[in-house]
Chains A and B, each alone.
Chain A
Amino acid sequence: MKTARVAALATGIVFAALVVVFVVSDGDTDVGARSPLLGQPAPAVATSTIDGARFELTRRKGSWVVLNFFNSTCVPCIAEHPSLVRFVADERSRTDAAEFYTVVNDDVDGAVRDFFAANGGDWPKLRDDDGAIAVGFGVAKVPETWIIDPNGFVRLRIMGAVGDGVLEAQMARLREGTAP
C-alpha cells in the first residue's frame, strides 16, 4: 500500500515536471538554426570565385558578410533566389552594405553561370570544389545562409530556403544588436 502511494506520488511529480517544461519552453520558432559556430570566429575561407578572383573571408572584416550555400539543381535554392536578389539590391543602397557571396556546393561552373544569367544575381560566386567550406561551416544540405559580422564572428545560420524579407529583418536585428 505504501509502495503504491510512493509510486503514484513519483508519477505525479514527473508528470507535473513535464507539464512545466512544455509550458515554459518557447519552442524553436526562430528562423536562426543552431550551430556550435554561432558567436565564434568564422571558419577560414580561402578560395576563388568562378571568375577566377581570389577570395579570403578574413580580408572582408569590416563588412557584414552573407554566405549562401547553393546548388543550381536544388529546388529550395531556386525558390529562395528572388528573395536573395531583392535583399542584395536593398543592401546596396546602404553605406554599410552587407557583402553577399554564393558558395557553390557540389555543382559545376557552367550550370551556375547559366542559372545566374537566367535568374539574376551579379554577386561573386565562390568555388568550394572539395567541400572544405561546407564542412568548415557544418553545412550538410543546401540551401543554407550564414551571416558574419564585421568583426569576423558568426552571427546567424538559416537552414533551408529564405523567405521574402527574412534576411532584411535579420540584418536589421543584427545591426541593432538585438539578435541573440
Chain B
Amino acid sequence: MKTTARRPAWAFLLVVTVALVVFGTVRDTGPRTQQDRIDTITKRVACPTCDGESVYVSRAAAAQAIRAEVARQVSDGLNSDDEIVAYIADRFGGQVLLVPRGSGLDALVWVLPVVVAVALVGALAMSFRRGSTSASNAAVSTANRRKPVAVTLAVVIVVGVGGGVLVARQSGQRLPLQTATGGIEDSTASLLAQARLAGPSDVKSAIDLYARVLETDPDNVEALTYRAWLIMLSARQFDEALRQQAYASTIAALGRAIELEPAYPDAMCFLGIVVYRDGGDAAAAKEFLDRCLERDPPAEVRGMVESLAAEVAAEVGG
C-alpha cells in the first residue's frame, strides 16, 4: 500500500527530470555575437602543435591560423558552428576535436556512462524490490525469480543504449557532412571533381555533371568551358547539322567563359582548337592558340595545343 502510494511521486519526479534535461538540451540561448561564436568554436578545437591546449588559449602559429580561419568563416555567416569545427577536423583529423564525436568508437565516451548509470539505477531498483518482497516471495520458485531479472536486464540495455545513443547524437561532435538538419548537397567543387574524373571515359555523365554545376552557378568558368568542349568532341561523330549546332553553342560558351575570366587559359586553348578543327579557320585559330600559350595552360591542355600549333602555323604561313 505504501509503495503504491509513492509511485505517482516517483513518476512525477521522473517526468520533471526528463523535461528539465530536454529543456536544457534544446533551449535556445539567444543571439550570440560573432566573437562569442569564435570563442565557442576555438574552445572545441585542440591546437595541433601543442599539448593539451585549445586553439582558444594557444598562441602557436598553427592555432592562430585556425583562429583566423574560424573568424573568416563566422564572418561569412555561411556555416554553422558544427560545420566550421567539422571543416577543421576534416583537415587536421579527428584528434583535434576536444569534444568527442557522436559516432564510431568515440561514441562510447557518450554511451557508456549512460549505460552504466541506467544499469546502476536498475540494480538499485531490483535490490529495493527484492528487499520489500523477499518475505512474501520465499516460496517462489527459482524460475519465477529469474524472470524479473531478465526483464530488468532487457530494460536496462534498451534504455541505457538508447539513451546513450541519444546523448551521443545530441552532444557528440558531428562529422563533416553530418549536420543537424540533414545531408548536404554535392558542392560545386565535388561536382566539378566528379565531372573531371568521368570526363575521358564517360563523356555523357561529365556533361551532365557540368550542367548541374551551371544550374546553381551559371557563370562557373570551368563548367562552361569543359561542358562546351565535351559537347563539341561528342558531336564530331554525328551528322553535319548536329555538328554545326554544337559548334555554335561551343563557340558561344567558350566566348562567355573568356568574357568572365579573360586569363583562364583552357577556354582560350579550346577555342583555338575548335575554331581550327571544326570551323576550319586557321588564321583565327592561330591567334587564339598564341593567346592560350601566353596564358600558361596546364600540361594536359598545353600538350594538345603545342601539337596543333605547328600544323596551324604551317597552314597560315602557306
Measured CB to CB, the residues of A under 8 A from B are 34-37, 41, 43-44, 54, 58-64, 95-97, 99, 105-106, 130-132, 134-141, 150-153
Contact = CB atoms under 8 A, between A and B. Distances in A.
A131 B222 contact: no
A61 B222 contact: yes
Report, nearest first, the 8 A-B pairs whose CB atoms are least far apart: A131-B65, A62-B298, A138-B91, A62-B300, A63-B298, A140-B48, A41-B193, A140-B62
Q: Main secondary structure on chain A at its contact with chain B?
A: loop
A36 B299 CA distance: 27
20 contacts: A34-B93, A35-B91, A37-B90, A41-B190, A58-B189, A59-B266, A61-B196, A61-B222, A62-B298, A62-B301, A97-B299, A130-B68, A131-B62, A131-B64, A131-B65, A131-B69, A132-B72, A138-B90, A141-B62, A152-B196
B298 A131 contact: no
Contacts of A131: 61-62, 64-66, 68-69
A71 B213 CA distance: 37
B298 A150 contact: yes
Interface of B: 48-49, 61-62, 64-66, 68-69, 72, 88-93, 189-190, 192-193, 196-197, 222, 263-266, 297-301, 303
Given A36-B90, A36-B93, A54-B263, A130 B303 contact: no
Given A63-B299, A96-B299, A140-B92, A135 B69 contact: yes
A135 B297 contact: no
Contact of B264 (A59, A63, A132, A153): A59
A95 B300 contact: no
B14 to A, nearest CB: 38
A61 B298 contact: yes
A130 B62 CA distance: 10
Contact of A138 (B92, B298, B299): B92
A25 B68 CA distance: 39
Contacts of B301: 62
B192 A130 contact: no
Nearest to B61: A106
Contacts of B62: 131, 134, 139-141
A63 B62 CA distance: 29
Contacts of A105: 61
A137 B92 CA distance: 8
Given A132-B72, A140-B48, A150 B65 contact: no
A130 B67 CA distance: 10
Nearest to A58: B222
Contacts of A135: 65-66, 68-69, 88, 91
A131 B66 CA distance: 8
Given A62-B266, A132-B72, A137-B91, A153 B64 contact: no
A101 to B, nearest CB: 13
A78 B62 CA distance: 20
A140 B299 CA distance: 30
B65 A151 contact: no
Contacts of B88: 135
A63 B302 CA distance: 9
A150 B300 contact: yes
Contacts of B197: 151, 153
Contacts of B66: 131, 135
A54 B88 CA distance: 26
B65 A130 contact: yes
Nearest to B49: A140
Nearest to B176: A36
A140 to B, nearest CB: 4
Given A97-B299, A132-B68, A41 B189 contact: yes
B91 A151 contact: no
B64 A60 contact: no
Nearest to A153: B193
Contacts of A59: 264-266, 298
Given A138-B92, A152-B196, 5 more contacts: A62-B299, A64-B299, A131-B66, A140-B62, A141-B62
Nearest to B303: A95
- Select the residue from A43, A54, A59 with max chain B CB neighbours within 10 A: A59
Given A132-B65, A140-B92, A62 B297 contact: yes
